[in-house]
Amino acid sequence: MTMRTQVVIIGGGPSGLLLSQLLDRKGIDSIVLERKTKEYVLSRIRAGVLETGTVGLMRQADVSERMDKECLLHDSTVISHGDEQFSVNFKELTGSHVVVYGQTELTRDLYAAREEMGGQLIYNVENVTINDAKTDKPYVTYDVDGSENRIDCDYIAGCDGFHGVSRQAIPHSVRREVEKVYPFGWLGILSETPPAHEELIYASSDRGFALCSMRNANLSRYYIQCSLTDNPDDWSDEAFWQELKRRIPADVAHNMTTGPSIEKSIAPLRSFVCEPMRWGRLFLCGDAAHIVPPTGAKGLNTAASDIHYLYNGLVQFYQAGNSEGLDQYSEKALARVWKAERFSWWMTNLLHRFPDQSEFDLKMQLAEIAFLKSNREAQSVMAQNYVGLPY
């Protein structure tokens, strides 16, 4: 079967769905291809801190009603080392805040909106191939239930993640990839318990990093730095809670509510960027082009900024016949991506224990935390980055 659309979007996660929803509201047709089922996509546990810009895009896409009702507004965050802790006040320093709203719920809202508007989403696709991306007549082929299909289009958005086909469609002679793999992971659990603190706690300790986060008033998300050789099955719930309490301030540990985990997983940490993010009529978005360690809560938010640039470029082209926004997409997206990479790298280095750290390195970490605690300008820089740099 052969179909025709204006934009083929490869990947039915939040970035692909958001792009499709935004385009639809401007009368631009798209088809979303997803290699898994809707249920599988919604089962993935991901981040929940949304920048100001991401929230604005959700509102622009007219899918923010539930988010605005149920989200948690956070005006600050807590940094701790041992029992010492201090707050970085985003509202006071930047006039803005972040929103805590689980990525699963955000994706659920986007699915509902696309289905209500009759958006074309095709699941369980296999053997997706991008063809003639360097010409003005690109097309995508794929299989569903053993049947080959073809979609002719004007443009292709690769929103299919780090392991997807989109980035691989760019020849090795064209793309440049840089990567830093960190020598540890994050063991995370989800528990139906009230949060340990009203704000997120980023904890540095002699035993390693920890993070106290939440999804709502009765659903908490906790992480501890762990070895890459660990397996989630190595950690009982009791062992996790004991280790977490050793890494966070004693008063928080004493008052927190623990309970059985409903999800437990280990995520490796890496920094990765592919340049360029455009090849002909193919545009890379989100994890297809870049990965950040989760320390700075930038993964979904950086994908959203890509969608902002690509969406506006496509609208400019279809409404005014002007390709300037599309021509500048890679340059603009990468300029912001690298700033997000820097911030995530900085926070990761600030708060984690590295296996080869010298005594000097540890002293520098402590000095950096002490400087951040005492210096308003340093806190302002952190706050600007955390709530999200302007597009």
189: left (phi over 0), alpha (psi -120 to 50) or beta: beta
Amino acid, single-letter form, for residue 63: V
HSE toward the beta carbon, residue 204, CA cutoff 13 A:
23
Q: How far is the C-alpha of 106 from the C-alpha of 298, rounded, in Å?
A: 15
Q: How far is the C-alpha of 148 from the C-alpha of 144, rounded, in Å?
A: 7
Longest CA span, the chain: 64
Residue identified by tokens 């597009």 is 391
Q: Of the candidates 11, 329, 307, which has an alpha carbon nearest to the alpha carbon of residue 163?
A: 11
Q: Which residues are known catalytic residues?
A: 74, 202, 294, 298, 386
**Token pair for 188:** 């995370």
Alpha-helical regions (H) of the chain: 14-25, 38-43, 52-60, 65-70, 90-94, 103-116, 237-247, 250-255, 299-320, 324-327, 329-351, 359-374, 376-387
Q: Give the burial class of 237: count Cβ atoms within 10 A of its Cβ; 0-12 exposed, 13-18 middle, 19 or more buried.
A: middle
293, 351 contact by CB (below 8 A) = no
Alpha-helical regions (H) of 147-197: none
Q: Which residues contact 78 (CB under 8 A, 6 or more apart)?
A: 85, 86, 87, 88, 197, 199, 200, 201, 202
3-state helix, strand, coil in the chain (%, to 5): 40, 30, 30
